[in-house]
Structure formats: C-alpha cells, structure tokens
C-alpha cells in the first residue's frame, strides 16, 4: 500500500482542461445548430486537442512518486482535492474520452475513483473505455 500526494495545482489544471473541453463542445454544438459547420469543426478540433492535454495531465498526475504507506495502509486526500478530481473526471468526460485511455490507465483511474468513494463513476469510465476494446482486451464486452 502506498500514500499518494496529489498536487492541488495539477488537479486544478485538470479541472480547467475539462471545463475548456466542455465549453468547446458546447460552442461547436451551438454553431452546428446555426448551420455554421466550418466554425463548429474548428471547435471540435479544439476539443480533440484538449482531450490529448487532459489525458497527458491525468497521466502526469497519476505517475507520481509514492511514499511508503502509514500504519493501516490509508492515504489522505483532502475533501476539496477529491471533489475537484471527481468533478473534472465526471460522467461527461468519461463518456467523451474514456475510449482514448489504455486498459492500464482505465484500471488505475477506476481504482482511484473507487478509493474516493465513486464506484459508479469508476464503472462509467470502464464502460466508456470498453466501447473501443477489441476481443482479447481486458474490458472487451463482446459485440
């Protein structure tokens, strides 16, 4: 068991990336409804670039050096940090980018979400990821 120290600034960056991505998608949807498809396409491209930044930031956050666990094997994460994390990596983000994570990354994220008391959100991430798994992959659900 290990203790993970999560940098609040890194968590804030993840939240801002997720918010920017959702804003780009909302803008694109509005432009599509108005028939402005070229501008909408640019906002979809922006959202795709933010997907990559979001995934990279998550990997950086979860790829931290860990300290030996204290007695009892518990780790401490403030409620504010936990809430910011689960907000940034909520259901909409899972649905939009879950397929872009590897099986190992999804498993790590799901374990963290379960540890934070959000098993339903962990399931949503695994389900979103599994949509793109092939036969033989860890989360493949069949046709």
| Cβ-contact 86, 11 below 8 angstroms | no
| Nearest Cα to Cα of residue 98 among 121, 123, 125, 118 | 125
| Nearest Cα to Cα of residue 128 among 112, 106, 108 | 106
| pTM exceeds 0.75 for this model | no
- Can you give the pLDDT at residue 4? 54
pLDDT in tens, the chain (143 residues): 344 556 666 667 777 777 777 788 888 888 888 888 888 888 778 877 777 777 666 666 665 544 444 545 556 677 888 888 888 889 999 998 888 888 888 888 898 888 888 999 999 999 999 998 888 878 888 76
């Amino acid at each position: 068991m290990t203790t993970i120290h999560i940098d609040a600034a890194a968590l804030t960056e993840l939240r801002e990336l997720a918010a920017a991505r959702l804003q780009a998608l909302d803008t694109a949807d509005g432009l599509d409804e108005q028939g402005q498809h070229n501008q909408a396409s640019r906002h979809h491209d922006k959202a795709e670039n933010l997907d990559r930044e979001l995934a990279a930031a998550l990997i950086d956050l979860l790829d931290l050096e860990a300290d030996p666990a204290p007695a009892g094997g518990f780790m401490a994460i403030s409620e504010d940090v936990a809430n910011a994390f689960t907000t940034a990596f909520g259901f909409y983000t899972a649905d939009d980018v879950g397929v872009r994570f590897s099986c190992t990354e999804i498993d790590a994220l799901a374990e963290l979400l379960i540890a934070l008391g959000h098993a339903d959100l962990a399931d949503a991430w695994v389900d979103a990821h599994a949509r793109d798994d092939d036969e033989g992959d860890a989360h493949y659900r069949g046709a």
